[in-house]
Structure 1
Amino acid sequence: MGDDKVESENWEVRPERVDMEHYIQAEPAWAKYIPGGYSKSRCLKSSGKPMVASILVLAGTCLLFFGYDAAVMSLVNINPDYLQHMDSAGGTNRDAARIGGIVSFWFLGFLVGAIMAGSYADKIGRLKSIQLGCVWGIVGACLLTSAQNFSWMVCARILSGIGCGHLNTIAPIWTSELADYNLRGAYVSVQFTMCVAGATMTYWMEYACLKTTSLPFAWRFPQAFQMFFLLLIVVAANFFPETPRYLAKTGRFEEAREILHRCRLRPSEQAIEQELAEIQEAIRIEATSSAHGFLSMIWQKDALHTRRRVALAMGIQAMEKLCGPDAIAAYGPIIFGLSGFTGNLPAMLAGFNFISYTCSVPIGMYFVERAGRRKLMLIGLLVMGCSLLIAGPLAREAINTPETELSKKRAYGAAVVAFVFLYTCGFGSTWITCCWVYPTEVFPLATRAKGVSLSMVSFAVWGAVINEVIPYVINAVGWWVFVMFAVMNFIQIIPVWLFYVETANRHLEDLDILFASDSPLAYKMEREFAEKKRALGFHTDVQEVLQTA
């Protein structure tokens, strides 16, 4: 009798005992022809802090490559040998357009890579998708290193962007689905600390190469060095866990349970079973949603309000670009030239700005869970807007002050530099984390990869536009570029306050309840969420909420 009782209790807590055969989606037959990915036999056997640290190292390397690849053209664009090969050394508007075009074509590749990754990451798994991205990136890096002309370089940049689109779309999803619900933001913050460190690394590597080596080596070696990170990722990923949400979706509940145990800092049997039950319930609900394809996610209205989530995810990436970080990072020497400094100093200041950027990101790691995404974004917009609004008039004074008043001119220039550094720290400690973690949280499991890839489309489109037009804007308006971005930061406070509901410290499955509200306004969503929780109890059934919404 005692054994029967134990068996009965186990039957109740094991989610896979519930009939799930109608909701399980097995991997397609063609997935077995793609080597690599997760394997139970070779997966790391560590658990707790060692497993978390290992996951963060791999994900951080993925984002380090993203930061490196995104910034790799920063000093290449002024290399005389590179400009000669690209037939763009004349300094004309045509030449500027060609150089800006090469930078922007990377975003086209990024867009394509994000869509590709989103289309099959839910079918073949997160790890295999990351490895496929590495293959694209390696091919792109080989072509970048050997580029001989404009067309060659454009093709190489597109292929490199495709690889980066894969990694930057899937790596944050992978960590968000593996992380404890109260650590998702910290996970992403660690990754983007590595991302900014990658950008800092490539900037100073190129600066050192320009000063100490031949001009051809100075731009070709940084392109080739990308392959080191990609080869490391493609090999190491074979030994890491797949996400429990993907494993459960494909019917491997026991493996999902084991991964949950290994990836939790303080695992308990009850908490693990409850989390697995929530995942299973989410799979049931999401299987009934009509919005599973890219177009249906954008156009169709469903009970999960997927269309609204797409708007929030794409909107936050657009706003991130309109905050102005690319103008400061990609065109740093030009921006610091507006402070009145000349010679090598603007390039040096741009490099030191990257260092301050890297140091500021861990601040977001501390506050992203404590303050929450919403509050951190609002604070960031206020700090960045004020910094740039002050930097603009100071830049005007620095430029207009004659050389005869050198001490005064330098004082204004130093003040401009200080406020640009403050802007960069404001962005690094707030938006760089929030804008990447938010899209990985707001989507249901069934459409998470596709949803994040759509947010990457927004990132790529706006990134390409900003990087293409910024040189012309700076030439046209000069120091007014600071004021222009300050106004954009202030304007963005309105949509963030109105529509961006808090996602911090909530289970991913719990967000389906939050987004069940018919109102897009954040405060109404929170009010209805609280009412439903009180009415239905703390362990709310998602299906019941959606039926009563």
Structure 2
Amino acid sequence: MAIIGGATTTLHEKEKLEQVEGPSTLDVVQPESRLSKYIPGGYSKPRCLKLRGRPMMYAVLLLAGISIMFFGYDASVMAQVNTNSEYLELMGAAGGTSRDAALIGGIVSIWFLGFLIGALFVGSYADKVGRLKTIEIGCIWGIIGAVLQAAAQNVGMMMVARIIGGIGCGHLNTVVPIWTSEIADPHLRGAFVAVEFTLALTGSTLAYWMEYGCTKTQSVSFAWRFPLGFQIIFLLLILAMVPFFPESPRHLAKTGRLDEAQEILEQCRTHPNHEAILQEMEEIKEAIRLEAKSAASTYYTMLFRKDELHTRRRILLGGGVQVLQKLTGIDFIATYAPQMFALGGFSGDKPALLAGGNFISYTASLALAIYLCDRVGRRRLMLSGCTMMAIVLIVGGILSHETMANKGNSKAAKYGAGVTAILYIYTALYGSTWLTTCWVYPTEVFPLATRAKGTALATVAFSIAGGVINTIIPYLISAVNFWIFIIFAIINLLMLIPIYLFYIETANRHLEDLDILFASDSPLVWRVEKEFARRKAQNSHLDHELEVVA
């Protein structure tokens, strides 16, 4: 017999208590690396903004939005640089040959290699030095890359500069969604990322029209060097803001600073409730204790060793959603938009102008994503997005075929207008369904112990898929013409199968609840949900028993 809380309990009941409580949280904390103190800035309690509730959330959104706006700008900045005559001459690619086209594509795609390296760096030290200091490190990489790109004198220098710039962008695009997902209310995580990627598309739109304006009004040299150097403005602004923001409460708890973690939760909740915050802190501590038992803590063990948290399955889902979003076909329309509008029969400046207008409507579509992401959920948005995009692409393929078949007569213009409408509708559908989902999902499915590394691996999948897709699309457009619409329509329909079978709903759930969801041995969604409901019911029953015992 044992005495607990003044009540008599049996050894069996005591074993239940020990099973629930597990090791002390303080026994499994991982203090920040000693190297962290040599990195200036980061989180400081006295320096942190004193805002609370919605004002604090708006401030967090501002910093995150500028960071992701930089990603959108950086990802799109080469669009019209690639057509600049001085740039092409300097890179040795002005001949218009297949070799020149491959070289220009290689300069664009090598950015994804840097992006991949940056993501892996984040996974290596974001848990050791904190989310905010990782953002600062990414800014330094990005500034160096932007300076070198703007000053490039030859193809070798440009290649190196693109890799360095990609490393900086990979840092920010990996760690910022992690930071916001760990700091936001559960019912606001999707909206947060939707707002961030609205600003990402704002950055892409800014890059496109800035370059177009420079091309029409400035010297040839200024028209490509200035947009590349302009990236520095974003990064300097982020560096100046970061030291005044709160660190992730989950990171603070993991490093043993439980009181500070609780204070930040109280600061960042739009409707703070003391009991709910205490409950959230208990869930975080329980997750830390549970994850301490996991065998997966390095990239190698995450990929090749089975553990209780089913980390490998989470990697397949988190990385898979990034590959799937590239397979929707968005890059063949968004990145190579002028060529696609040319398939609608347009020539001269019209394809470039229509592509620029498409960026504006693409950005506007994110307003719908902000509204839908947490209300509808990630899973339904992916399923509905694939279905609608497939239908639209089939119609686009038919209209493009008719445009080419009637080239030279009055019908071609009507069919071409239809192709334009289809391209606009497609990008709006993607923006309102997939763009947010593919970036928020990886930040949710991984446990705290491996969230930085897991999200980094998902970003690696994005980089590889993006590099491959962006390399082959120009050849596809040239080789199959209107059939490219049909190819991606079929791919979208095939994507419905893995999404329906394996992609668990993560919206409106505490991040810690996902450990219970992924505790199931089955990867099938309906079995996972059934097991989750059973476990939650058991935990609720056990909590009631413990209250009676105490």
TM-score normalized with structure 2 length: 0.94
- The verdict on how the C-alpha distance between 1:27 and 1:476 changes in structure 2, with shifts beyond 3 A counting, is same
Aligned counterparts of 2:268 and 2:113: Cα–Cα separation in 1: 35
What's 1:367 paired with?
372
Q: 1:102, 1:154 within 8 Å by CA — same for their partners in 2?
A: yes
Distance 2:357 2:251 in 1: 41
- Cα pair 1:378 1:497 within 8 Å, conserved: yes
Partner SS state of residue 182, structure 1: helix
Could you tell me which residue of structure 1 aligns to residue 144 of structure 2?
Answer: 139
- Residue 115 of structure 2 corresponds to 110
How far did residue 536 of structure 1 move?
2.8
Pair 1:508-2:511 in alignment = yes
Question: Per-residue displacement from partner, 1:372-421 (whole Å, max 9, x unpaired)?
Answer: 00001101001111111110121111122132x23x11110010011111
- The equivalent of 2:473 in structure 1 is 470
Partner of residue 54, structure 1: 59
Deviation string 1:230-259 (CA, Å, 9 cap, x unpaired) is 000011001000010000111111111110
Letter in 2 for 1:59: A
Matched, 1:530 2:523: no
Task: Give yes or no for the alignment of 1:309 onto 2:314.
Answer: yes
How many matched pairs?
524
SS at match of 1:430: helix
Quickly say closer, same or farther: Cα 1:84–1:123, change in 2 above 3 A: same
| Alignment pair present for 1:427 and 2:427 | no
State the 1:523 CA deviation: 1.1
Offset at residue 20 of structure 1 (A): 2.7
Q: CA deviation at 1:534?
A: 2.3
Cα offsets for 1:467-494 (capped at 9, x unmatched): 1111111111111111111111111111
Alpha-carbon distance in 1 for matches of 2:191, 2:261:
22
Question: Structure 1 489/538 Cα, relative in aligned 2: closer, same or farther at 3 Å?
Answer: farther
- 1:281 has 2:274 as partner: no
Verify: 1:37 aligned to 2:17, yes or no.
no
Residue 544 (structure 1) aligns with: none
Three-state SS of the structure 1 residue aligned to 2:307 is coil
Residue 127 of structure 2 aligns with an amino acid whose one-letter code is D
SS at match of 2:295: coil
Q: TM-score of the superposition, structure 1-length normalised? A: 0.94
Distance 1:494 1:500 in 2: 10
Could you tell me how far 1:209 is from its partner in structure 2?
Answer: 0.9
Contact 2:209 2:356 (C-alpha < 8 Å) held by counterparts: yes
Q: 1:266 corresponds to which residue?
A: 271
* 1:69 to 2:74 alignment: yes
Is the 1:81–1:215 contact (alpha carbons within 8 Å) kept by the matching residues of 2?
yes
| 1:367 counterpart letter in structure 2 | L
> Residue 429 of structure 1 aligns to a residue in which SS?
helix
Q: 1:228 to 1:300 in 2, by over 3 A?
A: same
Q: Does 1:121 align with 2:121?
A: no
Q: Is the 8 A contact 1:533 1:540 kept in 2?
A: no
The whole-number CA distance in structure 2 between the counterparts of 1:410 and 1:247 is 60
Residue by residue over 1:156-190, the C-alpha shift from the partner in whole angstroms, topping out at 9 and shown as x without a partner, is 10000000000000000000000011111011111
Residue 11 of structure 1 is matched in structure 2 by: none
Letter in 1 for 2:283: E
User: Structure 2 matches for 1:144-159, cutoff 5 A?
Assistant: 144-159=149-164
CA contact (8 A) 2:24 2:289 kept: no
Deviation at 1:540, TM superposition (A): 7.3
Give the Å deviation of 1:19.
Answer: 3.6
Residue-by-residue CA offset, 1:106-156 (whole Å, 9 max, x unaligned): 000000000001110011000000110000000000000011111111111
Provide the C-alpha distance between the structure 2 equivalents of 1:243 and 1:54, rounded to a whole number of angstroms.
14
Against the structure 1 CA distance between its residues 291 and 484, is the aligned structure 2 distance closer, same or farther, given a 3 Å change threshold? Answer: same
Residues 34-76 of structure 1 deviation map (CA, whole Å, 9 limit, x = unaligned): 1111011100001011100000000001100000000001111
Q: Does 1:452 align with 2:464?
A: no
Task: Give the one of 157, 161, 167 matched to 2:166.
Answer: 161
Separation in 1 of the partners of 2:152 and 2:336? Answer: 23
What's the counterpart of residue 497 of structure 1?
A: 500
Aligned equivalent of 1:545:
none
Runs of 4+ in 1 over 6 A off after TM superposition: 538-541
Task: For residue 470 of structure 2, give the secondary structure of its aligned residue in structure 1.
Answer: helix
**Aligned residues: CA RMSD:** 1.4
Query: Quick check: 1:332–1:350 contact (8 Å CA) kept in 2?
Result: yes
* Distance (whole Å) between structure 2 residues aligned to residue 204 and residue 491 of structure 1: 36
Report the AA paired with residue 414 of structure 2: A
Aligned counterparts of 1:76 and 1:326: Cα–Cα separation in 2: 18
Structure 1 residue 21, shift from structure 2 partner: 2.6
Letter in 2 for 1:377: M
Q: In structure 2, do the counterparts of structure 1 residues 210 and 518 end up closer, same or farther at CA, with 3 Å as the change threshold?
A: same
Aligned counterparts of 1:372 and 1:462: Cα–Cα separation in 2: 25
Amino acid at match of 2:377: G
Is 1:323 matched with 2:346? no
State the match for 1:236 in structure 2: 241
Equivalent position to 1:395, from 388, 391, 400? 400
1:142/1:224 contact within 8 Å kept: yes
The answer to whether 1:227 aligns with 2:227 is no
Give the fraction of aligned pairs with identical amino acids, expressed as a percent: 57
Question: For each residue in 1:174-209, what CA deviation from the matched residue of structure 2 results, as whole angstroms up to 9, or x when unmatched?
Answer: 000000111110111110100111001100111111
Letter in 2 for 1:163: G
Residue in 1 aligned with 2:15?
none
Superposed displacement of residue 504, structure 1? 0.6
Determine if the alignment matches structure 1 residue 187 to structure 2 residue 192: yes
**CA deviations over 1:76-131 (Å, ceiling 9, x no partner):** 11111111111111111100100000010000000000000111001100000011
Structure 1 residues 428 and 538: CA distance shift in structure 2, 3 A: farther
CA distance in 2, matches of 1:157, 1:252: 38
Task: Measure, in 2, the Cα distance between the counterparts of 1:252 and 1:496.
Answer: 38
| Kept after mapping to 1: 8 A contact 2:442/2:454 | yes
* Matches for 1:90-105 after TM superposition, within 5 Å: 90-105=95-110
Give how far 1:538 is off: 7.9
Amino acid paired to 2:60: I
For structure 1, which segment, 530-539 or 458-467, has the greater mean C-alpha deviation from structure 2 after superposition? 530-539
Name the counterpart of 1:546: none
Letter in 2 for 1:357: Y
> Unaligned stretches of 5+ in structure 1?
6-15, 542-549
Deviation at 1:539, TM superposition (A): 9.0
